[in-house]
Structure 1
């Protein structure tokens, strides 16, 4: 009897160890600690495969910190719009309090100047998704702290913005990414549990409702990491990968519309990830905004820095994402 108990205990221990090793391989328990985010940009002729990032075209949080009196922690979530041969770049800027939206401009897409804070609220702002619709400029940021999905309109572009509409009331979602097209108007975001939510309307000003037929992804690679973009008549969305902790990288997912059922499927795994050769992006990346132009594609992105080797123990994330992946596997 005693031998049987010892044998069972040994087998259980070995099985548990194997499971932990598998879990650790997929989502390591110990990862590099999150540091400070900076922003980069470049022009490229082709998007796929991912181009080599330009290590010179970066403005770091340190550079911006030196320009303003307030200490800042990071700049992140860059979105841009090109108008009249000028580039306007909007970013999240985190200082002492809630994050605000900052603006940079460039005549050539290479030499940017910091113009200041253009949007400041009592709640945290990020993800300043700026776009043009019917000859007007709009911004759909993450305004989760307000409890709503808020749409801003330029009162005086690019410096002054005001709330023009509440697209979704009493709905708190992270990083709402909007697609306005002839075939579909769509907002995709995630809730606090990293469950994808899809909303549609007949126009930007229409009544946005949760789409009645979509396949949601839950867990890793569910949260948007940039705006929708089109290549060869297909729509794609950057999504965040958290394999090595928050902000590991960006994967590209393709939007599918099968007889009215919407879903996002993996197209390019870890399109952008940690850049060991770039100091400011050596820990990871978590945002990409790309748009086509006359030279090919212009892209902006952010990356995170870890220079002191600090580590983070993330057992909850490891267990959670592994079990969610198992759930997703059996659900499918």
Structure 2
């Protein structure tokens, strides 16, 4: 009698690396491993991932995906790191919707705070704006859809040479989101946005799906962290550099360096799939794999709740 295959569950943890993203290399990340400040664990059968941050003095506000295996859905939360003493605040809710959310890409523009979360289940790339109030960044309003009707994931934005650029992947058959990089451009943040006429601009399992903050290097070229999926989803991160980025043509090359989880954490050595920039620190997430059969029990209970809920 064949044994039932043990389920494979990914668990992520978030760390703050004391180095600018453009100065990082795999060797530098390993050198800094013991200086990384790790976020508290999310709890039983939950995890935090996809970190992006805003800084206010010694307060580093880190926005994360809060995933729960009991529902197989995530919302967005914020934890604040006091950079002077390394203490973390309790998590606070940021955004909750009827559909799954992740990848809370936050940024500042024209004196306001914006967010483009991953919301592919809603079939759109949507722009949100923080609403002023007593609590900073506790309330968000949906402004518009930047790419309506598109099942895009991990949209990452940058303003360069007077234009806005968006890098994203698209959900599709045969793990399309792990092997195709797409680009869109606009003259203003709220659009209209135009998908590039040469999409996908890169097709390769070794680096396509966006994995963090695009940045402009000393050479004036845009560099984008992307997932290296050759060893499975979230297995590693590398960078691609755009030697040409115009509405007419895109030329992009993968850089050879690869960032892996073992460089940053001894116990979460199975993957690294986010590198986001916030001034003189870089945020990462790294992965461990759990093969406990308790996951099967959680999956059964979730299906039972869904089934009985439809009765």
TM-score, with structure 2 as normaliser: 0.78
Residue matched to 1:12: none
Is 2:270 the partner of 1:291? no
Report deviation, 1:212. Answer: 2.8
Cα distance in 1 for partners of 2:181, 2:157 equals: 13
RMSD of aligned residue pairs (Cα, Å) = 2.5
Structure 2 counterpart SS, 1:275: helix
In the alignment, which residue of structure 2 is the partner of 1:306?
289
In the alignment, the residues of structure 1 paired with residue 116 and residue 183 of structure 2 have an alpha-carbon distance, to the nearest angstrom, of 15
Distance 1:114 1:190, change over 3 A: same
Partner of 1:100: 75
Given that 1:174 and 1:191 are in contact with CA atoms closer than 8 Å, whether structure 2 keeps it comes out as yes
Structure 1 consecutive aligned stretches of length 4 or more whose deviation exceeds 6 Å:
307-310
Matched with 2:196 is 211
1:276 CA drift (Å): 6.9
Q: 1:196 aligned to 2:181? A: yes
Structure 1 equivalent of residue 251 of structure 2: 263
For these two proteins, the number of residue pairs brought into alignment is 267
Counterpart for residue 107 of structure 2: 131
Shift of 1:58: 1.4
1:103-122 to 2 correspondences below 5 Å = 103-108=78-83, 110-122=86-98
**Contact kept in structure 2, 1:101 and 1:118, CA below 8 Å:** yes
* 1:87, distance to aligned residue in structure 2 (A): 1.1
Unmatched runs of 5 consecutive residues or more in structure 1: 1-31, 66-70, 311-332
Contact 1:251 / 1:268 at 8 angstroms: preserved in 2? yes
Give the drift of 1:60: 4.7
1:228 pairs with 2:235? no
Q: Residue 274 of structure 2 aligns to a residue in which SS?
A: strand
1:253 deviates by 0.9
Deviation at 1:86, TM superposition (A): 2.2
Q: Residues 59 and 85 (structure 1 numbering): CA distance in 2 closer, same or farther, change over 3 Å? A: closer
CA distance in 2, matches of 1:145, 1:37: 22
Once residues 59 and 278 of structure 1 are traced to their aligned partners in structure 2, the CA distance between those partners, rounded to angstroms, is: 12
- Once residues 234 and 283 of structure 1 are traced to their aligned partners in structure 2, the CA distance between those partners, rounded to angstroms, is 30
Question: What 5-or-longer segments of structure 2 have no aligned partner?
Answer: 1-6, 294-311
Q: Aligned pair 1:58/2:38, yes or no?
A: yes
Instruction: Kindly indicate whether the alpha-carbon contact (under 8 Å) linking 1:34 and 1:304 is maintained by their aligned counterparts in 2.
Output: no
Determine if contact 1:127/1:141 at 8 Å carries over to the other structure.
yes
Distance of 1:214 and 1:146 partners within structure 2:
22
Deviation at 1:73, TM superposition (A): 2.2
- CA deviation after TM superposition for structure 1 residue 131, in Å: 0.3
The answer to whether the 8 Å contact 2:19/2:281 transfers is yes
Kept after mapping to 2: 8 A contact 1:280/1:303: no
Q: Which residue of 1 aligns with 2:63?
A: 90
Q: Deviations over 1:22-41 (max 9, x none)?
A: xxxxxxxxxx9552111111
**TM-score using structure 1 length:** 0.73
* SS of structure 1 residue aligned to 2:90: strand
Query: Match of 1:3?
Result: none
